[in-house]
Amino acid sequence: DVKVTQSSRYLVKRTGEKVFLECVQDMDHENMFWYRQDPGLGLRLIYFSYDVKMKEKGDIPEGYSVSREKKERFSLILESASTSQTSMYLCASSLGSEYGNTIYFGEGSWLTVV
Amino acid sequence: SQQGEEDPQALSIQEGENATMNCSYKTSINNLQWYRQNSGRGLVHLILIRSNEREKHSGRLRVTLDTSKKSSSLLITASRAADTASYFCATALVYNFNKFYFGSGTKLNVKP
């Protein structure tokens, strides 16, 4: 069964802290994504990676960075957390194919910055 | 942004009724997908329709795509209380088909 695992379900961090959100997929997918979900705003793409060490900015990359050193792992980094980054973060993965790919999601990480 | 817009934002119906939700997008797409999200959980794939397809069925789901209007609709027939969830459309761009953009979702409530 396909699986995308996010390391932490709930986190509380202080303003200014460096925060790491980890995501692992076991499907050998080329693509991995980080989305942020806020009420009324839907899912907004933060960063997208199409291969190891390759990344593209999404709609809201400011204040975030990412790391993909291994194919199965995609990390989201908040360099200096702010209260405006309190949100639910969703990691996802998919195959790389022009014929259409299903996106598989993790269960989400609820981050509260105080 | 390519982000799609779902309409309506919220929908409340009785069990057994049909539910229709719509998605509009801005630029040419490779494919469009619909996902479901139960409260506080990750999203689950429902159905994919390619840009050269006009209609697709999967069980009680029917999806249509009108590329000239840049819109899609999801119909859930004979709804059940268990269909209560948020539904999102996701678009993959024609020039970057591995990158997906989601809309803001339709919150469906099916009353028993």
CATH of the domain at A11: 2.60.40.10
Cα-flanking dihedrals φ and ψ of residue B83, to 5°?
-80, -10
CA separation for the pair A64, A51 (Å, rounded): 19
- pLDDT tens, residue by residue, B42-54: 899 999 999 999 9
Contact A63, A76 (CB under 8 A): no
Q: A94, B48: Cβ pair inside 8 Å?
A: no
**Residue A70 clears pLDDT 80, i.e. is over it:** yes
* Sign of torsion over alpha carbons A59, A64, A68, A71: negative
Of B51, B57, B54, nearest to B93 by C-alpha is: B51
Contacts of B1 in chain A (CB under 8 A): 59
Q: How many CB atoms lie within 10 A of CB B112?
A: 9
Residue A44 sits at the chain B interface (C-beta within 8 Å):
yes
For B1-112, where are the E strands, in sequence order? 5-7, 10-14, 19-24, 29-37, 43-50, 55-58, 61-66, 71-76, 85-93, 96-102, 106-111
Decide: residue A80, CB within 10 A, 0-12 exposed, 13-18 middle, 19+ buried: exposed
The DSSP secondary-structure symbol of A16 reads: T
Interface size between A and B, measured as CB pairs under 8 A: 73
Q: What is the distance in angstroms between the Cα of A57 and the nearest Cα belonging to chain B?
A: 10
Q: What percent of chain B has pLDDT over 70?
A: 97
Among the residue ranges A19-28, A97-106, B80-89, the one predicted with the least confidence is A97-106
Residue A11 sits at the chain B interface (C-beta within 8 Å):
no
Write down the domain spans for chain B.
5-111
CA separation for the pair A91, A74 (Å, rounded): 8
State which fold the B5-111 domain adopts.
Answer: Immunoglobulin-like (2.60.40)
Arithmetic mean of pLDDT, A13-34: 95
Contacts of B100 in chain A (CB under 8 A): 33, 45, 94, 103
State the residue range of the domain holding A93.
4-113
Decide: residue B52, CB within 10 A, 0-12 exposed, 13-18 middle, 19+ buried: exposed
Domain count, chain A: 1
**Binning pLDDT at 50, 70 and 90, where does residue A22 land?**
very high
